[in-house]
């Protein structure tokens, strides 16, 4: 597991042995190591006399104070430890080095000795919490992914074999069931009531240390993580470590507002950046799984990005808002409804889309087959269209298509030339110009030599003259539509 200057995103499970909008718009490879690892899970237990059976909202002991001790004591009985086990085939020639796990849950490679293939037992631990007195437990999908046996251990030391009712990889939510009655449960709140700066408390089993409580504040809301754009994560600086995955995040009233899921870290451990799935999202998934055994999400069929100030100026928006459509999947609901690259989605139904994180959540709240109205910005004015949403299970990777002319545009800092026929075939581009070199404004904006320039301000470009014409009309900035490594992105560029 490389640890360079870039942040590594980790699932939170210690193992002690070896922008399409899909459901929305739309994690590292799931495996038995720490980086984006699976955490198996199990179910709840009985109520020890030291704990209150059903927690009520906890009031602060004084003005401006929060009684974290009361929250932990009232809810600890409903927070469970989940251990999982499964098998992994190792020792095959040609598969590269195998991976071991250190005592603290960090993976390390060791050479394949060329031995005969065999199945090794692998184990992991995570956390969960009881939401129904008859044994329904919420945890992360990556906790139980690939597990053949899931054991739930309650704080009173009772253990149960859990049944996985269902998992939803898109939201990383799993629902477990244990055969027990009259169990303690946690009170449920809503992420909508949280404010940045509010106190929060996490309880879980980091590195196997059960019922560990840590405190922090809400650092941000609606965070969109790479490849996890369906979930508007709650960011917190509460100490979260491997093994906390699936555990609850409480607000100052003692209500669960999130499920601890991921961290950003150079080391694999806590560095002040933890992310939790809003309980509002998790409960919708839970209800579907309990009823049908699976969760369904709607899909629009676009890849989108946030709108910053330069992009807003380029498209004539009054403020940076909405979700800028970078790609439209051919044949998708968005394509059939007439949406195209360069549109800025401002509304889904009656709900505004202020930032890209809003889009997947709003689309995902609808059911596949449901018809919704999409409000969008195009050519300096607002328009709307009706879209019949598809199922996220049918999602495919969208590809952007992008003939050429030669020349240069010094105002933008771009050296441009036409696409050759081999380049056109290799890239799949039907239009656009090859960027041979970048200087000045383009270099500062992050444009790279080798990028294909396929559009400006949402309009396709085929010749250098078209590029120059758009640049002359620009007041402060323009939005370059680029193809890079098969993906489409918009880059705002200051002109002048």
Beta carbons within 8 Å of 227's beta carbon, 6+ residues apart: 26, 27
pLDDT of residue 395: 52
pLDDT of residue 107: 41
pLDDT of residue 116: 52
* Domain assignments of the chain as residue spans, ordered by start: 67-86+119-295, 298-391, 414-494
Q: Which of 145, 168, 172, 451 is catalytic?
A: 172
| Dist CA 435 CA 415 (whole Å) | 6
Per mean pLDDT, which range of 234-243, 327-336, 485-494 is the poorest?
Answer: 485-494
Average pLDDT over residues 382-408: 59
Q: Full-prediction pTM beyond 0.85?
A: no
* Bridge partners for 188 per DSSP: 256
Per mean pLDDT, which range of 59-68, 140-149, 482-491 is the poorest?
Answer: 59-68
Q: Which of 22, 245, 265, 341 is catalytic?
A: 245
CATH topology of domain 67-86+119-295: Thrombin, subunit H (2.40.10)
CB-CB contact of 345 with 273 (8 Å) = no
Q: Is 280 a catalytic residue?
A: no
CB-CB contact of 83 with 210 (8 Å) = no
Per the annotation, does 437 bind a ligand? no
Q: Is 245 a catalytic residue?
A: yes
User: How much of the chain exceeds pLDDT 90, in percent?
Assistant: 45
Choices 2.60.15.10, 3.50.50.60, 2.30.42.10, 2.30.30.100: CATH for 298-391: 2.30.42.10
| Dist CA 84 CA 15 (whole Å) | 9
Per the annotation, does 287 bind a ligand? no
Q: Which string of DSSP letters, residue by residue, matches 87-110?
A: EEEE--TTS--EEEE-TTS-EEEE
- pLDDT for 100 beyond 70: no
Q: Is 219 a catalytic residue?
A: no
The pLDDT tens digits of the residues spanning 250-309 come to: 999 999 999 999 998 888 888 999 999 999 999 999 999 999 999 988 989 988 888 999
Q: Which string of DSSP letters, residue by residue, matches 123-173?
A: EEEEEEEEEETTTEEEEEHHHHTT-SEEEEE-TTS-EEEPEEEEEETTTTE
The Cβ of residue 335 has, within 10 Å, a number of other Cβ atoms equal to: 17
CA angle 396, 398, 401 (to 5 degrees): 150
Fold matches, 67-86+119-295 and 414-494 = no
pLDDT of residue 102: 33
> Which residue, 293, 489, 297, is CA-closest to 402?
489
Q: Which of 35, 83, 142, 276 is catalytic?
A: 142
The pLDDT tens digits of the residues spanning 334-384 come to: 999 999 989 999 999 999 999 887 888 789 778 899 999 999 999 999 999
Beta carbons within 8 Å of 35's beta carbon, 6+ residues apart: 1, 8, 10, 11, 28, 29, 107, 268
More confident residue, 176 or 90: 176
pLDDT of residue 477: 80
CATH topology of domain 414-494: Pdz3 Domain (2.30.42)
The pLDDT tens digits of the residues spanning 8-47 come to: 445 554 333 333 444 433 332 222 222 233 333 333 333 3
Average pLDDT over residues 322-338: 91
Per the annotation, does 297 bind a ligand? no
The pLDDT tens digits of the residues spanning 423-478 come to: 777 777 778 888 877 877 788 788 888 889 988 888 888 887 788 778 777 767 88
Per the annotation, does 245 bind a ligand? yes
pLDDT of residue 426: 77
Quickly state the pLDDT bin for 412 (edges 50, 70, 90): confident
Tokens of 332: 């998708």
């Amino acid at each position: 597991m490389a640890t360079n200057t870039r942040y590594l995103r980790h699932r939170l499970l210690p193992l002690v042995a070896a922008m399409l909008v899909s459901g929305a718009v739309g994690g590292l490879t799931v495996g038995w190591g720490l980086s984006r690892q699976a955490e198996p899970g199990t179910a709840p237990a009985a109520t020890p006399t030291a704990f209150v059976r059903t927690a009520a909202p906890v009031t602060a002991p004084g003005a401006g104070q929060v009684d974290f001790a009361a929250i932990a004591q009232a809810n600890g009985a409903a927070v469970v430890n989940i251990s999982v086990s499964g098998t992994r085939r190792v020792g095959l020639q040609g598969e590269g080095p195998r991976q071991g796990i250190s005592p603290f849950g960090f993976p390390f490679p060791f050479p394949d000795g060329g031995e005969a293939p065999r199945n090794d037992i692998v184990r992991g631990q995570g956390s969960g919490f009881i939401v129904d007195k008859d044994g329904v437990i919420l945890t992360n999908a990556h906790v139980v992914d690939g597990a053949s046996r899931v054991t739930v251990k309650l704080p009173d030391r009772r253990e149960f074999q859990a049944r996985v009712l269902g998992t939803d990889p898109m939201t990383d939510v799993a629902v477990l069931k244990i055969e027990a009655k009259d169990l303690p449960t946690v009170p449920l709140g809503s992420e909508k009531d949280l404010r940045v700066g509010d106190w929060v408390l996490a309880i879980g089993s980091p590195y196997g240390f059960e019922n560990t409580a840590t405190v922090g504040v809400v650092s941000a809301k609606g965070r969109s993580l790479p490849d996890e754009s369906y979930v508007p994560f709650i960011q917190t600086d509460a100490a979260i470590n491997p093994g906390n995955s699936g555990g609850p995040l409480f607000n100052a009233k003692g209500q669960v507002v999130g499920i601890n899921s991921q961290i950003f870290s150079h080391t694999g451990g806590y560095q002040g950046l933890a992310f939790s799935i809003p309980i509002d999202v998790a409960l919708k998934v839970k209800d579907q799984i309990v009823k049908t055994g699976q969760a369904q999400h709607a899909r629009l069929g676009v890849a989108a990005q946030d709108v910053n100030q330069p992009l807003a100026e380029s498209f004539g928006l009054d403020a940076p808002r909405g979700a800028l459509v970078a790609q439209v999947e051919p044949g998708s609901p968005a394509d059939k409804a007439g949406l195209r690259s360069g549109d800025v989605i401002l509304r889904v139904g009656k709900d505004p889309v202020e930032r890209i994180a809003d889009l997947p959540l709003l689309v995902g709240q609808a059911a596949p087959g449901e018809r919704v109205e999409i409000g969008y910005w195009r050519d300096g004015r607002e328009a709307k269209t009706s879209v019949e949403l598809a199922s996220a299970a049918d999602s495919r990777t969208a590809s952007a298509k992008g003939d050429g002319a030669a020349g240069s545009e010094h105002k933008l800092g771009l050296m441009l030339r036409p696409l050759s026929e081999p380049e056109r075939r290799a890239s799949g581009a039907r239009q656009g110009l090859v960027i041979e070199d970048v200087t000045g404004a383009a270099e500062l904006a992050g444009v790279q030599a080798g990028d294909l320039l396929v559009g400006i301000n949402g309009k396709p470009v085929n010749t250098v003259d078209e590029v120059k014409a758009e640049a002359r009309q620009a007041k402060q900035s323009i939005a370059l539509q680029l193809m890079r490594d098969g993906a489409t992105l918009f880059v705002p560029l200051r002109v002048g």
